[in-house]
Amino acid sequence: MQSDQQHVVHVVGARPNFPKAAPVLAALERYDVRQTLVHTGQHYDSNLSSVFLEQLGMPTPDVYLGVGSGTHGHQTAAVMTALEGMFAAERPDLVVVYGDINSTAAAALVAAKGGIRLAHVEAGLRSFDRTMPEEINRVVVDRLADLLLTTSVDAVGHLAREGVAADRIHFVGNPMIDSLLRCRPEPADQSARSDLDLPHRYALATLHRPGNVDDDAHAAALVHAMHAVADRIDIALPLHPRGRSRLTAAGLLDHPRMHVVDPMAYLPFLALLSDAALVITDSGGIQEESTVLGVPCLTVRPNTERPVTITDGTNRLVEPTELPEAVAEVLAAGRPSHWPTPPLWDGHAGERIAAILARALAAGPA
């Protein structure tokens, strides 16, 4: 290893980060830089995280912090404390963060206070809902980042309106879609469906947002709506630990057509999503994946930081009370044969990001 190699540190911490980071790590291998992958361990299931990394072809993390779950303040502080010592010792030339989780915000704060250049992959997304912890993280990280790498044209506009200099904003496309297109299962792969004893036609659901599951009344309303959907179609539901107890207490498991399982690894989940008649979700990433796969998506939220999945995709926002009727409409219409997809969601975002990072490193500090 050459001593004059520039050093890039990638910080990930939860499953949504992994398919975004994988294409960037792979593409940056073509350049003369040293890369270090830091996994903060924010994800609740370290074993499942390991499976995700393996299935995405990512290297074993060089550093695993193991911060675990906890309150937002506890989790953010634990990541900051661990990274502060590491960054001080290593003095990386660039820190790359992904998405909007607490680890992302923590790494951004430590890098900025340490005078280390910062790149944010998935910059500029806005729900304009400050009750979402992720929205706070997005705004904070984008104020601190030196390189803002955006997945959509609307994100570029948000950053410009917030006063970010144009030369710091780069529209690169969506690296999560790189991973999806590389790992997309063959149409004949029915193993995931068979393992869950699902019929040929089924819906897929993921539900974990605080607005849906952290309040007993909201959880009960959501379960009522999901049971009405299950009257029409079997539902596969990999259930996130967040809200599991409330949803279960509200009777989620009481419907015979609810197929509730533990969170799934990347490839089996992608297979289920690819073949589903529709997906019901409150996840940001699944709005994007379903957009590219042409799977009708009903997002149970009042807003989305990914409006491009509505204008250039298959997504639609619904309230829980609207969900049964919306599902009936989707089932009657069937999956589309043609649909728009956002520009630059073409499987080459990682390459574009790597090229921008390499140019920035070659140019030196601004």
Contact 43, 67 (CB under 8 A): no
Structure tokens at 359: 């140019």
Q: How far is CA 103 from CA 14, 135, 154, 208, 226, in A?
A: 8, 14, 25, 18, 32
Which one of 120, 158, 170, 208 is the catalytic residue?
A: 208
Query: d(Cα 84, Cα 86) in Å, to the nearest integer?
Result: 6
Query: Computed over its alpha carbons, how large is the radius of gyration of the chain?
Result: 20
Query: d(Cα 174, Cα 157) in Å, to the nearest integer?
Result: 16
Helix ranges, 117-265 (H): 133-144, 153-161, 175-183, 191-195, 210-213, 216-230, 244-249
Judged by phi (left if over 0) then psi (alpha if -120 to 50, else beta), residue 265 lies in: beta
Nearest Cα neighbor of 239 from 274, 211, 280, 201 is: 280
Q: What is the dihedral of CA 301, 24, 74, 110, to 10 degrees?
A: -130
Query: d(Cα 69, Cα 217) in Å, to the nearest integer?
Result: 25
- In the residue annotation, 208 being an active-site residue is answered as yes
Known catalytic residues are 208
